[in-house]
Amino acid sequence: MPGVRISVIGTGYLGATHAAALSGWGHDVVGIDVDPSRVTQLAAGIAPFHEPGFDELLLEGVRAGRLTFSTDLSAAVDADVHFLCVGTPQSGTGHGADLTALWQAVDALAPHLRRGALVVGKSTVPVGTAARVQERLEDLVPPRHGVEVAWNPEFLREAHAVEDSLHPDRLVLGVASDAAETRLREVYAPVLRDGIPAVRTDLQTAELAKASANVMLASRISLVNMLAEVCEAADADIERLTEILGLDARIGPRYLSPGIGFGGGCLPKDLRAFASRATELGVDSASELLGAVDAVNTHQRQRAVDLTVRLLDGHPHGRNVAVLGAAFKADSDDLRDSPALAVAGAVSQLGACVRVFDPQAGRHLRDRVDLEVHDSIESACAAAEATLVLTEWPQFAEVDPVALGRVVERRVIVDGRLVLDPTRWARAGWRVHAFGRGETT
């Protein structure tokens, strides 16, 4: 079967990965972005971000001639399916989503739509947006063109974006017609052949599916972090507790790790956008519940800062603090709303000399005047009076505590992600403070 001609509008973490996956399935794909440097990089087969497996997939598509990139939407004129993958960040003035990029993309795309084209939203948007996109296109495109809107939210996780795109848990096909479903099934034929479940639903349920998944995940993390704080206060063991909870088939073991909280370009802003939209719809319970989830999450960052100050005997000014990890999660270089970076910045604001090492995100921090960026763990930790592990990079768990103990000024470490073996570190003479576990000496 010949591939489908597709455009992907917005080539950030989501769009670039989606475009590369689509081309890997044999479709002809053009990726469109307003950022010329991003387009130049991608067109040359160079990944603009760190994402395992992405470089290879991108290069394969570009070399095969099935994946091209442009800043000009007229390059999308031959496509029958257009995926909207632009950013939907938190608005600068409130908790709702800023849909400026989405409307710009829709308006710019309209003149290039062929007869019968399908416009598929993939960005995470407030419920009701798809219907507005359909209305907008009906205003801009003659009705005889029969242009239709569908919503097909994306559930990929950064750091696993390629794997999740190629082998998703499920597909959500938010459609208003059988023809739109058929077209989407054609696009996803290779995934559907693997037996991945595809749920057909209406546009608004599809929009809600993604936002609701993030709301549930965020709530679960804050719930676990609250339990961790109670464990510390009651001298209980959060790791045994979460093991016990995870063995309950109704709860399950995943997403039960305590730490300095969630961040990144999705969970925090999706949580707030969901609550804001629910309030608009007259549902007040959402902001009550999710406001607490958000507050518990932010509180974890403050807890890490307070703990650091306490470990520096209340005098952070002029003290050397090593921060291991800046990205919001391991195997990513994404710094958007990163808890690690927020803690590093807050400790620096208190006058400490903060030295950061991150295997991938460090290069994006060079213009931060408040942080010293280092190229190795040892260099960041030289003469440190407190060391903070704030991103769960696997190499941090493998550090030799004896060797690092010779580099630092004081063997004091905060494990904000529960990646260290406390007994091993304590045996090497370190005071280990872990979230939910308290101090091990």
Q: How far is the CB of 236 from ligand NAD (least distance, A)?
A: 34
- Asked if 33 and 39 count as a contact pair (C-beta separation under 8 A), the reply is yes
- The angle, 0 to 180 degrees and rounded to 10, between the axes of the packed helices 129-140 and 100-109 is 30
Closest to 290 measured CA to CA, from 311, 307, 268, 312: 268
Q: How far is the CB of 18 from ligand NAD (least distance, A)?
A: 9
Q: Provide the β-strand partners of residue 154.
A: none
Q: How far is the CB of 369 from ligand NAD (least distance, A)?
A: 24
Q: How far is the CB of 248 from ligand NAD (least distance, A)?
A: 28
- Whichever of 211 and 390 has its CB closer to ligand NAD, that residue is 211
Rounded to a whole number of angstroms, the CA Rg of the chain reads 23
Q: What is the dihedral of CA 166, 204, 201, 20, to 10 degrees?
A: -20
Q: How far is the CB of 428 from ligand NAD (least distance, A)?
A: 37
Interacting residues toward ligand NAD by CB under 6 A: 9-15, 32-35, 38, 85-88, 101, 104-105, 123-124, 154, 156, 158, 265-266
Strands 28-32 and 5-9, how do they pair? parallel
Helices (H) and strands (E) in the chain, counts: 17, 15
Report the sign of the C-alpha dihedral through residues 278, 151, 267, 97, in that order.
Answer: negative
Closest to 299 measured CA to CA, from 258, 358, 354, 245: 258
Which residues are known catalytic residues? 266
- Whichever of 10 and 436 has its CB closer to ligand NAD, that residue is 10
Tally Cβ neighbours within 10 Å of residue 63. 10
- Whichever of 207 and 358 has its CB closer to ligand NAD, that residue is 207
